[in-house]
Chain A
Amino acid sequence: MKIYEMTLAGLIEARDSKRIKPGEILAAFQTRTEEVEERVRSFLDRPRDLAAEYEDSKNGKFAGIPVALKANMATSKLTTSCGSSILEDYRTPYQSTVADKITGSGGVIAGKTNMDEFAMGSTTEHSAYQVTRNPWNLDHVPGGSSGGSAAAVAAGEVPCALGSDTGGSIRQPAAFCGVVGFKPTYGVVSRYGLAAFASSLDQIGPLTRTVEDAAITLNIISGVDPLDSTSARIDHPDYTGKLDQDIAGMSFGLPSSYLEMDIDEEIRNQVLEAAEKLREAGAEVREIELPPADLALAAYYIIATAEASSNLARYDGVQYGTRQSGDNVRDMFVNTRSFSFGPEVKRRIMLGTFALSSGYQDELYKKALKVRTVIKEKYEKVFSEIDIILGPNSPAPAFKIGEDMDPLDVYYTDIFTVPVNISGFPALSLPAGFSEQGLPLSVQLIGPAFGEVELLQAASGLEKRLDVPTLAALEKGR
């Protein structure tokens, strides 16, 4: 097996048993990246020489492991553009907590990955810089908004990447690229240094090739952070703790109403097949009722855009962006923002501003908050009866690049991923197979708040029975 084909767990094991050196790991992934990056285009910025970034002194768990970070996470070295031209070449004078944790345990930041501008989008085509391609089929998108991170992992450019998930932005690209994408419970991973899209929904999580790798990465990046008031004040367990435990006896809920919605036939079958595998493994699978997904979707698009309209107000031409002149300061703001933001970002800022405006706030924003509370309560009730929810992730496999879609249809594709952002619960996208076209298919597993350990246990159990390849070959000439 080539080094870049190894999983994170495999690399750590080989390094610890002195079969490979950190420098060799870094060199191998550098070579692989140079081979495939021209076709995949995952990265917006990366160091020239990965091995040179490694510090011998740092002998932690991640010593010599290259980790790709989404371009909305502050790092002391590379640019943090958030996929936006308003932050072109922007370098932060501070580092995000997750980047600190990665480098602090010996990991090397392998680059900043492409994304939809300010994490708004489902294809990574809304990046101001480049189009990233799906490593399984270069004519298709990698999903979004963490498309660069998902593609980098699927292409073997890194064994592990971080993404951010506000409404599915880790899980959907993980599904499109056939890798594991994990959004932990809100508050498990510090948001300090993550350029905010929607603060009450944003959560950082890993994209990896296996469930075990996701758990290992979560062990590194999770933790209470005094710099983030919303980071959960909990005792963090060993997230790999129950990976080897049997799932027999666990109970899974299958939201049958979700499967009756407008959803790709192959994906529906994949979910049902996964349910069958769980039963075979001795787990119980029963039908459950979840709150209507369209309600969660509506609440999500109000809350997320409302917060975004405020979070993105700072990009006004005073501190950032190519300042556009105007007759007065107000015109300067308007001209700069009009010039520098892309259409999707503008659309959401306008939606959010509207949702918060006096006269509309009660009907939109405040009502959405109420819906959010109701959804959370309903999910909690479901979790008093079962351990884990099994369901679809994206309603369809990866779209074609450049497909002309109505924005509302694109928003609809978030329908199965947003409820857990609304409720804060952890959820994982697990590769489940391939479509007839050869595109990855996936299922989603959802756990109760801070139920990461059991969720990872369930995912690992199902993963073993599905046994799906997660590395795209990307042979030359394709």
Chain B
Amino acid sequence: MSKKYETVIGLEVHVQLQTESKLFCGCSAAYGAEPNSNTCPICLGLPGTLPMLNKRALRFALQASRAADCQINQFSKFDRKNYFYPDLPKGYQISQYDLPLGYDGRITIETEEGETKEIGLTRIHLEEDAGKLIHAGSVGDSAHSYVDYNRGGVPLIEIVSEPDIRSPEEARAYLNALKQIILYLGISDCNMEEGSLRCDANVSLRTRGDREFGIKAEVKNMNSFRAVERALAYEVKRQEKLLDAGRKVVQETRTWDESRQETVSMRGKEEAEDYRYFPEPDLMPLEISDEFIEEIDDSLPELPLEKKHRFQEQYDLPAYDAGVLTQSRELAKLFEESAGKYDDAKEVSNWLMGEYLRLLKENEVEPGQDELNGEKLAELLELIEDGTISSKIAKEVFEETFVSGKAPGEVVEERGLKQISDEDELAEIVAGIVADNPEVVEDIKGGKDKAIGFLVGQVMQETRGKANPQLANQLIREEIEKH
């Protein structure tokens, strides 16, 4: 980090709301349909058609606003943002200008140093998405383009942060926190590749101690959180170099070139666009009652950070564990269900953070899409605790339960995985192994105590892992004494 300059970043995030239908018509808002199949006269903006507000989208936007601690403009309205572009069928976008649904909010992030920091939100507003252009060839030289209006009219919220972010790492932490909250609310899948979460950044530098902001560049076209972090890091360096050389940063829009890992100026000379905003006369102003806000507040789930802190307190978990377990609402739910039925919360946490996350990754599924539940995990841990199975066998059982949903006890029964704790049965096996390995026995007698592990291993192999290892160890010692 530069000692001389302070980095100032503000982010504009667009999140597609996961409603069944579009913001102002009944068309499906689903991603990936045949081009122009999810369209109707309204979202195509045919003459005379009128928008009808999707109440669910409004609700989602209000939930996002309240989850981010925003104040609500109880008298709000929609405005038209006027500009010409082929993906914009009406020649204007229905958006919100001076009275956004939410304003003056905040998102709490955790910095690398483990401290918490609040990033202010200027506003959250509701608007419709535009369609999508598909160019025949490259943008510059294609003779024609195709328009897909499926995305046109899909509800979006735009979340604008204050210029409170001080490093690319903080920007990423902010995006993570924001995404987590939205996933908790269940109002979007935040899939950057499918464009359901998009991020633009404003970056500027100022000499440390200065109060005034430097000249900013806007960076677009970053397709992952990692790309955001890298693009911002690149941009900070680029601006540093300019300033150090006594040159000025140009106020412009730059695009992140993923393949070259650099930002590139989009337009030589940019005309400031005049969007001629004015109130959308086809929609009534929004009046949002105290009762509605109260109802929204009551509908909010416990948010990630709150939940994390509660896990630390209530289950006596390390901050790291609590952080991992609250990554997703489903994972946290699984943890709480299990910990409610099995006393050792740390043990539950270990299994979830270890085996569970590994299997999720391996099977490419999200929490909730597998067959495990709290009851089954608790049952498995009980089986380990009472010595029915070893931890090693337990992993095998866990995987089966994860995939098929069979109860662990059932899996153990079916596969005959019960630990051999019967002394007589095990003593017989141990006797055989000790007899077969006279050299090892000699080594042990000669003081190489570690060699006993080899014999335990042999026992485990013979029993296909079912021997109780402590018991095997004890019996081997007893057997060697006899020799």
Contacts and interface: CB of A to CB of B under 8 A. Distances in A.
Given A92-B41, A306-B278, A313-B92, A329 B52 contact: no
Contact of A229 (B50, B80, B92): B50
Contacts of A313: 82, 84, 90-92
Interface stretch (A14-22, A189-197, A436-444): A189-197
Contacts of A73: 48
Interface string A79-114: 010100001001011101000000000000000000
Interface stretch (A282-290, A351-359, A393-401, A468-476): A351-359
B46 A356 contact: no
A74 B48 CA distance: 7
Given A74-B47, A195-B48, A229-B283, A314 B89 contact: yes
B47 A196 contact: yes
A358 B278 contact: no
A123 B147 CA distance: 39
Given A93-B41, A229-B52, A87 B92 contact: no
A353 B48 contact: no
B80 A196 contact: no
Given A229-B53, A318-B147, A361-B276, A194 B45 contact: no
B275 to A, nearest CB: 9
Interface in B40-71: 41, 44-53
Nearest to A329: B86
Contact of A310 (B44, B50, B51, B278): B278
Nearest to B53: A229
Contacts of B282: 196, 199, 229-230
Given A94-B41, A365-B278, A314 B47 contact: yes
A310 B47 contact: no
A356 B49 contact: no
Contact of A200 (B45, B82, B145, B281): B281
Contacts of B89: 314, 318-319
A94 B282 CA distance: 18
Interface string A197-228: 01110000000000000000000000000111
Size bin of chain B's contact surface: 20 to 34
A310 B82 contact: yes
Contacts of B48: 72-74, 80, 92, 96, 191-196
Chain A, interface residues (CB within 8 Å), range = 35 or more
A316 interface: yes
A333 interface: yes
B49 A192 contact: yes
Interface string A56-87: 00000000000000001110000010100001
A355 to B, nearest CB: 9
A316 B80 CA distance: 17
Interface in B130-169: 145, 147
Interface string B25-53: 00000000000000001001111111111
B284 interface: yes
A87 B44 CA distance: 15
A307 interface: yes
A227 B91 contact: no
Contacts of A357: 274, 276
A319 B41 contact: no
Main secondary structure of the interface of A (DSSP, over half): loop
B86 A356 contact: no
Contact of B281 (A93, A194, A226, A307): A307
A195 B47 contact: yes
A227 B80 CA distance: 19
A353 B84 CA distance: 13
Contacts of A2: none
Contacts of A226: 52
Given A200-B281, A313-B84, A314-B90, A228 B274 contact: no
Given A307-B281, A310-B80, A330-B84, A316 B274 contact: no
Interface in B59-103: 80, 82, 84-86, 89-92
Contacts of B47: 72, 74, 80, 82, 87, 90, 92, 195-196, 314
A96 B50 CA distance: 11
Nearest to B44: A319
A314 B45 contact: yes
Nearest to B41: A94
Which one of B44, B47, B86, B284 has the greatest number of beta carbons of chain A within 10 Å?
B47
Contacts of A310: 80, 82, 91-92, 276, 278
Given A195-B48, A229-B52, A318 B86 contact: yes
Nearest to A190: B50
Interface in B161-181: none
A229 B280 CA distance: 11
Interface of B: 41, 44-53, 80, 82, 84-86, 89-92, 145, 147, 274, 276-278, 281-284
- Closest 8 pairs between A and B when the two form their complex, measured CB to CB: A313-B91, A195-B47, A199-B281, A356-B276, A200-B281, A193-B48, A195-B48, A94-B41
Given A191-B48, A199-B282, 20 more contacts: A80-B47, A82-B47, A96-B48, A193-B49, A196-B282, A227-B50, A229-B52, A229-B53, A229-B283, A309-B276, A310-B80, A310-B276, A312-B91, A313-B90, A314-B89, A316-B91, A318-B147, A329-B86, A330-B84, A356-B277
24 contacts: A82-B47, A92-B41, A94-B41, A192-B50, A195-B47, A196-B47, A199-B281, A228-B50, A229-B53, A229-B282, A229-B283, A230-B281, A306-B278, A307-B278, A310-B91, A314-B90, A314-B91, A316-B84, A316-B91, A329-B86, A356-B82, A356-B276, A356-B277, A357-B276
Interface of A: 72-74, 80, 82, 87, 90, 92-94, 96, 191-196, 198-200, 226-230, 306-307, 309-310, 312-314, 316, 318-319, 329-330, 333, 353, 356-358, 361, 365
